[in-house]
Amino acid sequence: MKSFVFSLAIVLAALGMLAPAGNLKHASREASRNGWIPVHLAGSPAEIGYQHGYLLAAEIQDNYQAIRLSMTHDSKDWNYFRAASESVLWPHIEAEYRAELQGIVDGVKAKGLTLDIWDIVTMNAYMELSPYYLNWHEKGAAPLPVPERCSAFVATGSYTKDGKIVIGHNNWTDYLTASRWNVIFDITPSKGQRFIMDGMPGLIHSGDDFGINAAGIVITETTISEFHGFDPNGIPEFVRARKAMQYATSIDEFAAIMREGNNGGYANNWLVADSRTNEIASLELGLKNVNLWRSKDGYFAGANYPVDPKLTAEETTFDPKNMSISSNARRARWGELMEQYKGSIDPVTGQLFLADHYDTFAKAKAPSERTLCGHIDKSPRGMKPWQPEFGTAGVAQAKITDAALAGRMSMFAALGHPCGIEFSAADHLAAHPEFDWQKPLLRDIESQPWTLFSAK
């Protein structure tokens, strides 16, 4: 009988139905909590990748389908982006992250799925391949618009209730991929810092970039609107973002990692906090212009607007004077909230900020593309040039932490719009059939309560 069981185990392993025990020894997947999937990964890069691929195989396959449809609709086909991943990005991915990416492929294959390394690299790089790489590569063609993702803030000193850091972020994205941004990764790598971050199945980086590492560094960002520029000889943004999350032990180290080999892809204004020193920083990372501002008594906010006038003029087509557009309206709202709540900002008030519906241009409370909690699907204006009228996009989820929580590698997270308003895919497609191409994969966006997550 023992011989039979042993032989059966060998056969199942060969068929990819039984994972090698050593690869999963320090890994686990917990039951979903308010829509989030908590996953714990640990070990060498190859082990972490294998655990990731094996434990989330079905979700990775589903996320692949959503990203592929989102990227290729009215754009290039999937093979175009796979080729760029192989010839442009792969040569600039260091061995550690190559091993982890290949580990994901191996873990997925062990579950009987057939995604290969170029599928996984393309998924990880989808936000920089389209439109940043594509616009660079297709010079002379009409450029694709840069998605305007996220609202975020970081505050410290006289602005917060206890004088220490508070940092929060909500993720704006297309609803096609939004419901897949629902993993809480707790990763203990063999080198670098342990870290906890939100993310998507199949991605080795957060993507919307909210995370805390064991050195007390907390990281988030918002994209720079209407940015143009890409360096094919640079290091992919997703690699630098993951490396900074894993290895940065100070604001200086974070900035150095993000600057080294900057390829201009997925250009962001990064908001960073050191929960040990209570210093905060804003790293505006253009391709030609890089700015680092720091403070121990103040705040920085992001809503997709470029800050530096030189960067704005040289690397974007953004109009900083047009207060009717989303980025400028939200920038004004951040200023109002920071002054109104100065001295009392904490995770509770921060949650209110991320759910805020005041439109500074219309001088009214109405959820739209101009509010911190974004609802582009409700706007007859859309969010051009990224989204058309009533576009299927807006806030997908939110996260917040402070110094005390970050010291325990803990954060609050909420799936869906933090305001509580939900999105019905069927109702929206019935009213706006122009988005029927999304029907096979578009899901409802349900709003879940704020939930506390901590490193296990």
Q: What is the mean pLDDT of the chain?
A: 95
Q: In what order do the strands lie in the sheet with 410-415?
A: 298-302, 151-156, 166-174, 393-402, 410-415, 451-454
On the 0-12 / 13-18 / 19+ scale of CB atoms within 10 A, 77 is exposed
Which tens digit of pLDDT belongs to each residue from 230-276? 999 999 999 999 999 999 999 999 999 999 999 999 999 999 999 99
pLDDT confidence of residue 433: 98
Of 23 and 216, the structure prediction assigns the larger pLDDT to: 216
Identify the structural domains of the chain with CATH numbers, from first to last. Answer: 22-137 (1.10.439.10), 151-454 (3.60.60.20)
Report yes or no on whether pTM surpasses 0.85: yes
Cα separation, 433 vs 411, in Å, equals 38
Which region, left, alpha or beta, applies to residue 163 given φ > 0 means left and ψ of -120 to 50 means alpha?
Answer: left
Q: Assign 456 a pLDDT band (cuts: 50, 70, 90).
A: confident
Average pLDDT estimate for 11-31: 64
**Residue recorded with tokens 């260091």:** 94
Q: Express each pLDDT in 40-86 by its tens digit.
A: 999 999 999 999 999 999 999 999 999 999 999 989 999 999 999 99
Percent of the chain with pLDDT over 70: 95
What is the 3 state secondary structure string of 92-116? HCCHHHHHHHHHHHHHHHHCCCCCC
In tens, the pLDDT along 288-328 reads 999 999 999 999 999 999 999 999 999 999 999 999 999 99
132: which 2 tokens? 């940043």
Q: According to the model, what pLDDT value does residue 10 have?
A: 42
Q: For 154-208, how does the pLDDT look when each residue is reduced to its tens digit (9 = 90+)?
A: 999 999 999 999 999 999 999 999 999 999 999 999 999 999 999 999 999 999 9
Give the CA angle between residues 66, 69, 71 to the nearest 5°: 105
- Burial category of 397 from C-beta neighbours within 10 Å (exposed 0-12, middle 13-18, buried 19 and up): buried
pLDDT tens-digit map of 353-380: 999 999 999 999 999 999 999 999 999 9
Nearest to 27 by CA among 189, 198, 181: 189
What is the pLDDT, as a whole number, of residue 13?
A: 41
Residues 54, 11: Cα–Cα separation, whole Å: 18
Report whether pLDDT(454) > 60: yes
Gyration radius from the chain CA atoms = 21
Cβ neighbours of 232 (radius 10 Å): 16
Please give the pLDDT value at position 428: 98
Q: Which two tokens stand for residue 349?
A: 């008030």
Our CA angle for 72, 76, 80, nearest 5°, is 110
213 strand-pairing partners? 195
pLDDT at 1 over 70: no
Q: Tell me the C-alpha distance between 301 and 398, whole Å.
A: 15
Q: Tell me how far apart the alpha carbons of residues 278 and 205 are, in angstroms, rounded to a whole number.
A: 25
